[in-house]
Structure 1
Amino acid sequence: MSKIRITKQFSFETGHALYGYDGKCKNVHGHSYHLFVTVIGIPISDSTNVKFGMVIDFGDLKKIVKEEIVDVFDHATVFNKNTPHVELARELEARDHNVLLVDYQPTSEMMVIDFAEKIKQRLPETIKLHSLRLSETTSSFAEWYASDNE
């Protein structure tokens, strides 16, 4: 049986700031992110299985990505916890804002690496994460490919 890739798209709104950056992105700002998740596997060949013919049910993939990424990052502000931005984060949290403190500079590049690790841990053994594309604007995106990271 042939290996097939399937892709599901997700959207979420997230704010961030890049500590130490030499441009406008050092300021707190936000993006309407679009995340494309592509997995690869062999469609289920057991005709008695309710998922017959599927690599993975789109609903099952949605559940994983929603729980690990969308529900966590949507309408949150992300800061690198290893910078003085932690002070701003504490102030926002005190005002009941949703703040995420991460171990990395919250660029699209670093976020997509984080997302890949989270998604890979939740996929069934028979399904592999093939690639992610995280768009922060209509013309700017970061991509992660399993083949580049073997």
Structure 2
Amino acid sequence: MSNIRITKQFTFETGHALYGYDGKCKNVHGHSYKLSVTVIGKPITDNTNVKYGMVIDFGDLKKIVKSEIVDVFDHATVFNKNTPHVELAKELSDRGHNVLLVDYQPTSEMMVIDFAQKIKQYLPTHITLHSLRLQETESSFAEWYASDNL
């Protein structure tokens, strides 16, 4: 049976700031992110299985990505916890804002690495994460490919 890639797309709104950056993105701002998650595997050949013919049920993939990424990052503001932004984060959090502190600069590049690690650990053993594409703006995105990270 052939390996097949399937992709599910997600959207979420997230704010961030890039501490120490020399451009406008040093300011707190937000994006309407689009995340494409592609997995690879062989379709189930057991015709008694309710998932017969599927690599993975799109609904099962959605549950993983929604719980690990979308529900966590949607309408949150992300800061690198190793910068003075922690003071701003504490102030926002104290005022009831959803703030995430991460151990990396919250660029699309670093976020997509984080997302890949989170998603991989919840996939069934017969499914492999093939790639992620995190689109930050209409014309800018970061991509992660398993084949580039062996």
Q: TM-score with structure 2 length normalisation? A: 1.00
Identity of aligned residues (%): 86
The equivalent residue for 2:123 is 123
Q: Which residue of 1 aligns with 2:57?
A: 57
Aligned pair count? 150
Structure 2: state its 5+ residue gaps.
Answer: none
Q: Which runs of 5+ in 1 are unaligned?
A: none
- Quote the offset at 1:123 in angstroms: 0.1
> Counterpart in 2 of 1:104?
104
CA–CA separation in structure 2 for the residues paired with 1:26 and 1:126:
42
Partner of 1:148: 148
Distance 1:95 1:135 in 2: 29
CA distance in 2, matches of 1:138, 1:119: 24
Number of the residue aligned with 1:24:
24
Q: Give the aligned partner of residue 133 of structure 1.
A: 133
Q: What is residue 6 of structure 2 aligned with on the other side?
A: 6
Give yes or no for the alignment of 1:95 onto 2:92: no
SS of the aligned residue for 2:90 comes to: helix
Q: Structure 2 CA distance, aligned partners of 1:91 and 1:135? A: 29
For 1:122, what is the secondary structure of its paired residue? coil
Once the two structures are TM-superposed, the CA of residue 44 in structure 1 deviates from its matched residue by: 0.2
Residue 126 of structure 2 aligns to which amino acid in structure 1? Answer: T
Q: 1:128 & 1:55 partners in 2: Cα distance?
A: 10
User: Counterparts of 1:134 and 1:98 in 2: how far apart (Å)?
Assistant: 21
Please state how far the C-alpha of 1:91 moved relative to its aligned partner: 0.2
TM-superposed deviation, 1:10? 0.1
Structure 1 distance, partners of 2:147, 2:70, is 25
4+ residue stretches of structure 1 with deviation over 4 A?
Answer: none
TM-score (norm 1): 1.00
Give the whole-Å Cα distance in 2 for the aligned partners of 1:4 and 1:92: 44
Aligned to 2:70: 70
What secondary structure does 1:66 align onto? helix
